[in-house]
Amino acid sequence: MKGAFSVGVLVLVGLLLGGAFLFFFTQDQLRRGGTLHETYIRESVQGLEVGASVRFRGVAVGRVTQIALVSAAYPRAEAEPFGDAFQLVLVRFMVDRGLIGQAPATPQAVELGLRARLSTQGLTGVGYIELDFVDVRRFPAPRLPWEPSVAVIPSMPSTSAQVQSAAEMILARVQELDVNALVTDIAALVGDLRRQAAPGGSFAATLDDASALMRSLRGTADGANVAALLAELQGTAVAARRLLEAPEIRTALAQGGAAMNDLRAATQRLPATIQQLDAGVRGARAATLDLQADMVPILRDLRAVTANLREVTEALRRSPGQAILGAPPPAPVPAR
């Protein structure tokens, strides 16, 4: 009887301790409510456990409540193939909206680029879910062949997964290279360089010419009186400075500046002068046209007067007496 009582007391104490531990780990969820979300991760979730934290840029805002396979949570239809969507890992987590504050609803936040990814804490390897806003064009929301039961936050690859994917891509490109042909080309290039660097090669001849040029320049520099050359250059610079500081040069520069100002002013007046000249030419042309119009009848009358004078002169030449005495000219003899 005492043994049964002891066993009962022990079981009761164990239940109380279990309830205390359960209350200790779930007191935050009991004290304040949260919103259930889920995401679908393509990579391995090794290190992520139920109860792991959900963080937004390092700030804890929730806890992981369930880790399962999508194929178990959302059974596919018999006619639907077992595609990539049913090979994902389902992670459900509770997010405390009170810790986030005033933020858009989950659908609007997803449209703005809210994504979830798997992260680990340093060297311990303890996993957690990290929420952050990213570029929607790089990580678009996938289309799901099922109807989610809770709000969905799309996932994106973790940093280690992205590094692994880039390394695999580089390795695949390296494997596509023709290593034998590359080694053959490198060997041929080394052979060409060796032949060019050998005595008689173009590269060796270029080096010899460069060495000869350097020796020639060194000999020229050694043979030249550098100190005298520098003194001469310094004297030339002093003379040039004195020449520029001379009153005549300053006067000439001032006059040149004044001449440039006059030329600039004349250039500015040139368009008006050209317009006036153009107007004068147009007036002269109009006057010429008017004079031509007035001269036409005068020339016509002068032509008529000239014709009359020609007729009078011809009459005087034929019969001067008739023209003076006024007798009528003899009648012409009719032809027989």
User: pLDDT tens digit string along 37-57?
Assistant: 999 999 989 889 999 999 998
Answer yes or no: do 48 and 127 share one domain.
yes
Least confident of 98-102, 141-145, 199-203, 222-226: 222-226
Q: Do residue 150 and residue 187 come from a single domain? A: no
Tell me which of 245 and 89 has the higher pLDDT. Answer: 89
Reported confidence tier of residue 93, pLDDT bands at 50, 70, 90:
very high
Are 74 and 107 found together in one domain?
yes
- Percentage of the chain with pLDDT > 90? 22
pLDDT at residue 326 is higher than 70: no
The residue count for the chain: 336
pLDDT > 50? residue 169: yes
Q: Is 185 a residue whose pLDDT tops 90?
A: no
Q: Which two tokens stand for residue 147?
A: 């109807």
Task: Give the helix ranges, DSSP H, for the chain.
Answer: 2-31, 70-73, 97-100, 106-112, 159-176, 179-197, 202-223, 226-245, 247-318, 320-325
The answer to whether residues 186 and 74 belong to one domain is no
Instruction: Judge whether 62 lies within some domain.
Output: yes
Given 157, 188, 203, the domain boundary residue is 157
pLDDT computed for residue 21 by the predictor? 57
Domain annotation covers residue 197? yes
CB of 151 closer than 8 Å to CB of 114: no
Return the pLDDT at 323.
58
- Given CA atoms 48, 50, 52, 53 in this order, what sign does their dihedral have? positive
Same domain, yes or no, for 152 and 35?
Answer: yes
Residue 18: pLDDT over 50: yes
pLDDT-derived band at 31, boundaries 50, 70, 90: very low
Residues 117 and 216 in one domain: no
Helix boundaries (H) for 198-246: 202-223, 226-245
Looking at per-residue pLDDT, the higher value among 101 and 118 belongs to 118
- Identify whether residues 88 and 41 lie together within a single domain: yes
Using one digit for the tens of pLDDT, what is the confidence trace for 257-291?
888 888 888 888 888 888 888 888 888 787 777 77
In a domain, 56, yes or no: yes
Count of domains for the chain: 2
3-state secondary structure of 27: helix
pLDDT mean over 131-136: 93
In a domain, 302, yes or no: no
Asked whether residue 84 is assigned to any structural domain, the reply reads yes
Residue 170 maps to a domain: no
3-state secondary structure of 51: coil
Same domain, 138 and 220: no
Q: Is residue 233 part of a domain?
A: no
- Predicted pLDDT of residue 159: 80
Alpha-carbon radius of gyration of the chain:
56
**Do the domain assignments include residue 137?**
yes
Question: 101 and 149, same structural domain?
Answer: yes
Last residue of a domain, one of 195, 224, 253: 224
Is residue 118 located within the same domain as residue 54? yes
Residues 130 and 184 in one domain: no
152 and 187 part of one domain:
no
* Domain range for 78: 28-157
